[in-house]
Structure 1
């Protein structure tokens, strides 16, 4: 049994196709198939049901894949230990980011980090918070950037910055307001991101005035702040945005911005990773780079941290 064979098994388990798995592993399909067959013969079992389409794991195959993930993750840690001992900042580093942070934060630090640490191969993917934590726990991600606090005992959090929620209120909804308070928010007026976004949870946690009746004749949720802004401009409601997102609005749309009174409801954005993670030298480098670029763009101090986990209040 070899690490390579186990890697091939994981690839087929993920892609459910021998040809695609071989492409992802940069080997020929016959080579990959032969190595998996050798492993099956050694263990005297079948890992995959090849008669099903797509290919499925057998019952024992599911257990083998679970253990193979642990073995490969632990084998990767040997190199991480050596790199950390030598002070070498390089190699693959898998970073997850929640979608409501990616478009504003990533352009701010990515070029700086790549230029400063050219030997790090930064692999970045978007996940919601729940999926991100699952991937951190099983070693499929080295770190993530998410709204916190998450208060998970096996996840460590390095706070990067506090980002206020900002109201987007066209004239028909402003009612001569110059600043917002949570009491000004009516949940039935607010256009929300779709379920799965912790930013939506934050908005629901801010709102004080819940109503059981929906006085709108439509219901809509989106994965895009841009769509919510356009609908708001059409008079269909108001929305809340993260502060950094408002910096790129055009001058016309900026006139619809309303800030909250102090303490401003804000999300805490942190670098998160499993407490068992060994690539701490890269995590520290990433943290320092991000702190270096955000300190000039976002410096709010008088804030109230809003949890990214939904808290039931009234009808919610």
Structure 2
């Protein structure tokens, strides 16, 4: 029995398919199948029922898989501890990020951080805040990046990352209130508002800025909620309307799209982004270094840093 076999077991249990599990583990299917068969023969157990499609994990197998995950986590902790003792920034970290943040820092700050720290392996998942917190409590994640303060996140450690302004993205660029390039929340036509899906903190923040009504722009026989900001931008470009946009999203807009972005009237609304974690671990050095890297990278690029007195925090 070896660590690789345990990783193969977990992969097959996850994908319910030997071929897909082999691809995820970067080995051939015959090799993976042979390693798992060897494991089953050694322990005289049947982990998977191969007669079903998709493959089913047996009752005994479920218990084996649970123990395998504990062992893998312990091995990773041991590696992280060794790296820490050797003053090497390395190891594996499981990170959750809310979708309205991941799109804008994953291909930039986080990619750059990993390029500078090749000994770190990072598993990133996009998750709503509530699901992210559940995963942290279950030990499935080591840390999460969310909008704070958040009511149910009080038991976690929290490190501030950055503050970013919340802005308006609108297809109507001729309204009188926009002559000075700012929008008064009370004058927004809320019947034209496009929102993200329930459970998204950016939706809650927009609702806290404006009182919302049913969107009259969508067909009466259409029920639609967006899961990401890019979909909202596309809908507004095609059929009109208005939505809220975090400042970092501007970096991914075209020149024409940037002309549709307007600031709210002072005090400008902003959201606070932090990294939270359940307890300090041997992965703490990775969390600390990642936090510092993101803070330094965005320190001079966001509007909030020019004059914080002009802003007000909109809680999720």
Per the normalisation by structure 1, the TM-score is 0.80
Q: Distance in 1 between matches of 2:137 and 2:117?
A: 26
Q: Hey, what's the Cα distance between the residues in 1 that align with 2:168 and 2:44?
A: 63
| Structure number having the greater helix percentage | 2
Matches within 5 A, 1:1-316: 2-41=2-41, 44-110=44-110, 112-114=112-114, 116-150=116-150, 151-152=152-153, 155-171=156-172, 174-177=175-178, 178=180, 179-195=182-198, 197-207=200-210, 209-211=211-213, 215-216=216-217, 218=219, 219=222, 220-233=224-237, 236-275=240-279, 277-300=281-304, 301-302=308-309, 303-308=311-316
Task: Say if 1:106 and 1:23 are closer, same or farther in 2 by CA, change over 3 A.
Answer: closer
CA distance in 2, matches of 1:61, 1:226: 41
State whether residues 165 and 242 of structure 1, in contact with CA within 8 Å, keep that contact through their aligned partners in structure 2. yes
From the superposition, tell whether residues 56 and 304 of structure 1 become closer, same or farther in structure 2 (CA, over 3 Å): farther
Aligned length: 306
Contact 1:87 1:281 in 2 (8 A): no
Shift of the 298–182 alpha-carbon distance from structure 1 to 2, 3 Å rule, reads same
The DSSP-based 3-state class of the residue aligned with 1:101 is: helix
User: For residues 26 and 106 of structure 1, what CA distance do their matches in structure 2 show?
Assistant: 24
Please say which of residues 51-60 and 154-163 is displaced more in the overlay.
154-163
Distance 2:103 2:184 in 1: 27
Gaps of 5+ in 1: 309-316
Offset, 1:140: 4.6
1:232-278 deviation line (CA, Å, top 9, x unaligned): 34563111111122355444443433212333322211223332542
> What is the distance in 1 between the residues matched to 2:271 and 2:148?
7
TM-score (norm 2): 0.80
Encode CA deviations 1:19-69: one digit per residue, 9 max, x unaligned. Answer: 332343344545543443454455554322221100011233223322322
SS in 2 for 1:61: helix
With over 3 angstroms needed to count, the CA separation of the structure-2 counterparts of 1:242 and 1:5, relative to structure 1, is: same
Secondary structure of 2:78's partner?
A: helix
Unaligned runs of 5+ in 2: none
